[in-house]
A and B are shown apart, each in its own frame.
Chain A
Amino acid sequence: MSFDPATVAAFVDGELDDLTARRIAREAESDPALAAEIARHRALKARLTAHFAPVAEEVVPERLRALLVDARADTSLADRREAKRARFAPIHWGAIAASLVLGLTLGLKPWLPAADVTSANGTLVAAGPLARALDTQLASNQPADAAVRIGLSFRDKQGRTCRSFEGAGLSGIGCREDGRWALERALRGEGRRNYRQASSGALAADVAAMLAGDPFDAAAERAARNRGWSD
């Protein structure tokens, strides 16, 4: 083989000038060692590309998109000033008060950020950090100190994708419905120290009762997440 390894790599990376690239290609036709070396490099590249490609196909988590989409609403300094003025104009205080009252009557506390549960059309659904954990966290790959631990992911007898979770304040099972996690079971957590023992048994029994087929393995869980938990 009359080409050094760096040149072969550069050939595979498309970094050579046309003339040298053509020489290598021609020589590879009659030099099996060179052809094999090129194939080896191509195989590695293809392998890595294929491995990471699905990440770019995943639904971008809302927490990342929101950083940019919210910022986009601020179009210009003048708009921002205008918006600021409007926000504090007296007439809007009425609207703010009304939304607070609405929040109170719904039993929500809109001034508390990041509640884990909210209500949508009469159904309890996951919100805030809990919804985020259910959306993105994989049981096979979660930090040891995660606030919410994902247990099993599975398809229930109604064909929904469901996930059990355990947290200090709340444990339960969320099932995917209309792009939200409807809370199918919700058990109050019993404090951080012993919440796992307290709720695991009851949850496991619930999961067993709802389960259709087997729970997802790590690959199926990841695939389901990458599809955005829909079919």
Chain B
Amino acid sequence: MRFEEELVELLPRLRRFARGLARSASDADDLCQAAIERALKSREQWQDGTRLDSWMYRITRNLWIDERRAAGRRGVHSPIDEAATQVAGDGAAEVEAGALRGDVDGAMARLPDEQREVVMLVLVEGYAYREAAEILEVPIGTVTSRLARGRETLMHLLGEAA
């Protein structure tokens, strides 16, 4: 199958992944657009016979991280990410958890970036730990520990019934 055709087929899934990372639907589509443009520009770096989906997910995720870091340097803070690191056992967080019951987007937004991306890849996109590790270019152990923390926070925020 041709490169572009495969990419077109991948778009619905890629948009879903981007929606989990970005803060709004339009940000997510902007991210997809940047990823497609990057992929078209550097298509010779993709080796025929290797998985195009993993390659695209990696491009998308790296662009998102770049954007997040740039926003951080511009001073666009995301206090919710900082709050998430100490969610468990915190009195204010208990109240917050009640308010968030049922709000998957809100709960996801409270995960630190490195947990959110793992949760999306494994729990939503259905990648194996090893595949997620390859996409993120981190060891498998890092994937499982971030996933465990992300899960714990989500279960807490979304309530026992999850």
Residues of A within 8 A of B (CB): 5-6, 9-10, 13-15, 40-41, 43-45, 47-49, 51-53, 55-58, 60-61, 63-65, 67-69, 71-72, 136-138, 141-143
Contact between A141 and B25 (Cβ–Cβ < 8 Å)?
yes
Contact between B155 and A57 (Cβ–Cβ < 8 Å)?
no
Scan residues 1-57 of chain B and give those whose CB is less than 8 A from a CB of chain A: 2, 4-5, 7-8, 11-13, 15-16, 19-20, 24-26, 29, 32-33, 36-37, 40
A72 CA to B120 CA, complexed, in Å: 30
Closest 7 CB pairs of A and B: A44-B162, A56-B12, A55-B16, A51-B104, A43-B162, A72-B4, A68-B4
Cβ contacts under 8 Å, A60 to chain B: 8, 11-12, 15
Contact between B25 and A47 (Cβ–Cβ < 8 Å)?
no
A49-B4 CB under 8 A given contacts A55-B16, A55-B19: no
A67 CA to B161 CA, complexed, in Å: 42
Cβ contacts under 8 Å, B161 to chain A: 43
B154: interface (CB < 8 Å):
yes
Contact between B119 and A48 (Cβ–Cβ < 8 Å)?
yes
Cβ contacts under 8 Å, B148 to chain A: 5-6, 9
Contact between B2 and A52 (Cβ–Cβ < 8 Å)?
no
- Min CB–CB distance A133 → chain B (angstroms): 10
A143 CA to B25 CA, complexed, in Å: 10
Interface 1/0s, chain B 106-148, versus A by CB < 8 A?
Answer: 0000000000000110111000110000000000000010011
Partner of A68, one of B8, B104, B124: B8
Contact between A64 and B158 (Cβ–Cβ < 8 Å)?
no
Cβ contacts under 8 Å, B90 to chain A: none
Contact between A40 and B155 (Cβ–Cβ < 8 Å)?
yes
- Min CB–CB distance B74 → chain A (angstroms): 15
Contact between B37 and A67 (Cβ–Cβ < 8 Å)?
yes
Cβ contacts under 8 Å, A67 to chain B: 33, 36-37, 40
Cβ contacts under 8 Å, A65 to chain B: 8, 11
Cβ contacts under 8 Å, B33 to chain A: 63-64, 67
Cβ contacts under 8 Å, B8 to chain A: 60, 65, 68-69
Contact between B13 and A142 (Cβ–Cβ < 8 Å)?
no
Give 22 A-B contacts (CB < 8 Å), ordered by A residue: A6-B148, A9-B151, A10-B144, A13-B123, A40-B155, A41-B151, A44-B151, A51-B104, A53-B16, A55-B15, A57-B12, A60-B11, A60-B12, A64-B15, A69-B4, A71-B40, A72-B2, A72-B4, A72-B5, A136-B26, A141-B25, A141-B26
User: Interface on chain B toward A: helix, strand, loop, or mixed SS?
Assistant: helix
Residues of B within 8 A of A (CB): 2, 4-5, 7-8, 11-13, 15-16, 19-20, 24-26, 29, 32-33, 36-37, 40, 104-105, 119-120, 122-124, 128-129, 144, 147-148, 151, 154-155, 158, 160-162
Contact between A49 and B123 (Cβ–Cβ < 8 Å)?
yes
User: Interface on chain A toward B: helix, strand, loop, or mixed SS?
Assistant: helix
Cβ contacts under 8 Å, B32 to chain A: 64
Chain A minimum-CB-distance residue to B10: A68
A145 CA to B133 CA, complexed, in Å: 37
Cβ contacts under 8 Å, A13 to chain B: 122-123, 128-129
A48 CA to B19 CA, complexed, in Å: 12
Cβ contacts under 8 Å, B147 to chain A: 9
Contact between B155 and A52 (Cβ–Cβ < 8 Å)?
no
Chain B minimum-CB-distance residue to A225: B25
A60 CA to B7 CA, complexed, in Å: 12
- Min CB–CB distance A109 → chain B (angstroms): 26
